[in-house]
Chain A
Amino acid sequence: MLDRTPPEGLPARPGVGYKARHYTSILADPAPVGWLEMHAENYMGDGGRPLAQLRHLAERFPVSVHGVGLSIGGEGRLDPEHLARLKHLCGWLHPASFSEHLAWSTHDSAFLNDLLPLPYTQATLARVADHVDEVQAVLGRRMLLENPSSYLSFAESTMSETDFLRALAQRTGCGLLLDVNNVFVSATNLGLDPRAYIADFPLEQVGEIHLGGHDEDADDAGRPLLIDSHGRAVADPVWALLDETLALSGPRPVLIEWDTDVPDWPVLAAEAARAAAALERVAA
């Protein structure tokens, strides 16, 4: 029997990834959006409009801080300066949730600004668990870790992604952020069954769900290769996968991510409304 209450502080309603161009529209007419997610690294300046907007929005909405630069899967140690910046941000903002990615992006002091893949081995598990422990100790809170979108796999992997994430959550006590679009993208790209992935996912640890749009490409053999672009509406099969996920997990906070070719507010709000309808279908 699953615990049907989400383990983190975000409401089980739709949220959107915040874009500055929507500032006025969100404040004027947020419905059906119940919370906002901010990329941590965009709010690490000393002042100016970004921080003023964030302060104002945080008075009106629960806020999720979503890091994209910590490189938690990196082979090197976590950047102590970046950890300190995250601690400072979470310290004054008191977000309802903090999340990061199962990925690496920094190596040898070069930040590559992408979420790069990891082999799923015991060695990776031990390293990532140490890093998650460190983050949770520094921030003084439980974090959520997000499943990646994959374009390839590693010959050296010895366990599935779901086993890896389950073990990580057990070892560190961290929660998980389930990106349903990433599941669909990875499963399509690697020839796996997305429904089996969801069925095997430790849903009781899921504090937040992500949805986003993907682009369609093809690999050398002409097989479909989906790209996690966040540049369009959520695809229909991903909405169907969300329904199946929510039927198993119960209501969860559901975020719409739209990061490139960002549309006008009504288009994004309509995506959030679709998520609201999905949540209503599983409401007790």
Chain B
Amino acid sequence: MTGQETFRAALLDPAQAVPDGLLDGHGGPAGRRFAVYRNNVAVALTEALESGFPTVRKLLGPQNFRGVAGLYLRAHPPASPVMMLYGGTFPAFIAGTPQLAHRGYLPDVARLDLALREAYHAADAQPVAPEVLAAIPARALEGIRITLAPALRLVRSRWPLHAIHRFNHEPGAPKPAPRAEDVLVTRPGFDPLPRLLPPGGGAALAALGDGRTLGAALEAGAAEDPAFDPAALLRLLAQDGCITGVETQE
């Protein structure tokens, strides 16, 4: 093993011995001075996860979160120095951690935290003007394809994901009731917002994201839930500036 290979392995595993050849500057071995680096690495990566997954942290409590973060950062240290991206596999890691299996909603909560962070750093895009949408003749609406803002993130869940998020961030918010909720993260300005999608809205948005026509997307929504209200979905998209391009068939 090279010097940095040994160093790295010992940094991430406190059970390993301090590498040979490290001194304390006073003629002795480095001893617990090596722990400064161990501690720096663990603290820096834990803090990145804490700020990146605030809702998961709130649900688990600070101490339990640090425990899970410690397992994750040792198994999955960042693959890039761009720390705003760190934790992309944390939701899947949570899902695969047996000790957390009793909290089935937690991976989706982590996905939503991640989606909010990704939305924050996503590219800027100008929404299309309301007049542009209003000018499309009704008969042509079915065939249009919509370009969605780069900041949009869809998180579909069989848990009351929106209510859980709200309950943990909004004082006085109602306790989540058991139901499935799809959440759309929008970014009207610079601040991402978790929006509850109306029933069927998740299927419709997934279809739009796949590049299908508005007609096909609305059909997908109705197919998923008979109560699907296309107007409510389109109002939400228009209100939060989610539509950045419209392509008509002609």
Contacts and interface: CB of A to CB of B under 8 A. Distances in A.
B80 interface: yes
B33 A50 contact: no
Given A104-B4, A154-B23, A69 B123 contact: no
B3 interface: yes
A70 B78 CA distance: 13
Nearest to A112: B41
Interface in A1-57: 41-42, 44-52
B28 A221 contact: yes
B8 interface: yes
B77 A82 contact: no
Interface in A174-231: 189-192, 217, 219-221, 223, 225, 227
Nearest to B120: A48
B25 A191 contact: yes
Contacts of A49: 120, 190-191
A225 B45 contact: no
Interface of A: 41-42, 44-52, 68-71, 74-75, 79, 81-82, 85, 104-114, 116-117, 119, 150-156, 189-192, 217, 219-221, 223, 225, 227
Interface in B36-74: 36-37, 40-41, 44-45, 48
B6 to A, nearest CB: 10
A41 B82 contact: yes
A189 B33 CA distance: 9
Nearest to B32: A220
Contact of B124 (A44, A48, A112, A190): A48
B83 A220 contact: no
Contacts of B180: none
Contact of A110 (B3, B24, B79): B79
Nearest to A115: B40
Given A45-B120, A110-B79, A113-B48, 16 more contacts: A47-B123, A48-B187, A75-B3, A79-B81, A81-B80, A105-B81, A107-B4, A110-B77, A112-B77, A114-B37, A155-B21, A155-B22, A156-B21, A189-B33, A190-B25, A221-B28
Contacts of A111: 77-81
B193 to A, nearest CB: 13
B8 A110 contact: yes
A116 B37 contact: yes
B150 interface: yes
A51 B79 CA distance: 23
B84 interface: yes
A79 B81 CA distance: 10
B25 A45 contact: no
B109 to A, nearest CB: 22
B26 A106 contact: no
Contacts of A151: 30, 33-34, 36-37
Nearest to B191: A49
A81 B26 CA distance: 41
